[in-house]
Amino acid sequence: MGEKLTPRFVFSLPIAIFGLLLLIGFDWSGLSQSSTRGIIYGLLTALSYALFMLMLRRVQASTDGELLYSPLLFVSAFCAVFLAVPIFMTDTSLVIPDLESFGSLLALGLFSQAAGWIIIATAMPKIPASLTGLVLLLQPFLAFLWDVTLFSRPTTFVHWLGVLITLTAIYLGISGKQN
């Protein structure tokens, strides 16, 4: 994206990733097959998400901010079609079973998706892409905290050390001067 990365940012990125590795652990043989599959899917999701964010940023940069909602409309339509294909292939119904489910879907669509993406799409052109990527490293950290808080995930000192290292690296990368 034509941005100059600061040495502080370049230094902080591998440290943040190392901290995240401490959260999941290095002993892959000790993980269940579903856990390793989940980590691999998570990494593939991260790669896809990063590419998507860069493409969205490129589209926004090429239109000088004129098209704030059009790219999001296109993405929503593409995802709907993309996700509909397996549903139709498996002969699954798209019928919403009850009013409570409809309300939940409506709330998710309006608040979590639409409002969240409008905030992201509005803010993205105003901050460097490298900074966006570093801040997005907070997502796995927050997922870990929710796992501990909501699902009583067993944790060790090494996991909490990973949290500390990740947050410190994110802070270092964010607090460095951008050129």
Domain assignment present for 2: no
Contacts of 163 (CB under 8 A, 6+ apart): 19, 23, 141, 144, 145
Q: Taking the CA of residue 52 as centre, how many other CA atoms within 13 Å lie in the half-sphere pointing to its CB?
A: 17
Average pLDDT over residues 52-74: 68
The parent domain of residue 171 ranges over 7-175
**How does pLDDT run across 75-100, given as a tens digit for each residue?**
778 778 888 888 888 888 878 999 99
In a domain, 38, yes or no: yes
pLDDT for 100 = 95
> What distances in angstroms separate CA 76 from CA 21, 41, 100, 114, one per listed residue?
32, 21, 23, 10
User: What's the pTM value of the predicted model, to 2 decimals?
Assistant: 0.57
Residue 131 is which amino acid?
L
pLDDT at 26: 67
The average pLDDT across 17-41 equals 79
pLDDT at position 69 over 70: no
Residues 6+ positions from 169 with CB-CB distance below 8 Å = 12, 13, 15, 16, 18, 19
Model pLDDT, residue 178: 52
- Range with lowest mean pLDDT among 47-61, 111-125, 127-141, 163-177: 127-141
Give a yes or no: residue 1 inside a domain.
no
Q: Letter for the amino acid at 159?
A: H
Q: Say if 76 falls within a structural domain.
A: yes
Q: What is the mean pLDDT of residues 13-23?
A: 83
Average pLDDT over residues 110-130: 74
Q: Report d(CA 36, CA 1) in Å as an integer.
A: 33
Q: Determine the pLDDT at residue 179.
A: 47
Contact 38, 177 (CB under 8 A): no
Which pLDDT score is estimated for 64?
59
Closest CA to 37 of 49, 45, 153: 45
As a three-state string, the secondary structure of 40-63 is HHHHHHHHHHHHHHHHHHHHHHHC
What's the pLDDT score for residue 99? Answer: 95
Measuring CA to CA, which residue among 174, 159, 166, 147 is closest to residue 22? 159
Helix, strand, coil distribution of the chain in percent, nearest 5: 80, 0, 20
At residue 62 the predicted structure's pLDDT band, cuts being 50, 70 and 90, is low
Q: Structural domain tally of the chain?
A: 1
CB 164 within 8 A of CB 14: no
| pLDDT score, position 102 | 94
Q: How confident is the model at residue 129 (pLDDT cuts 50, 70, 90)?
A: low
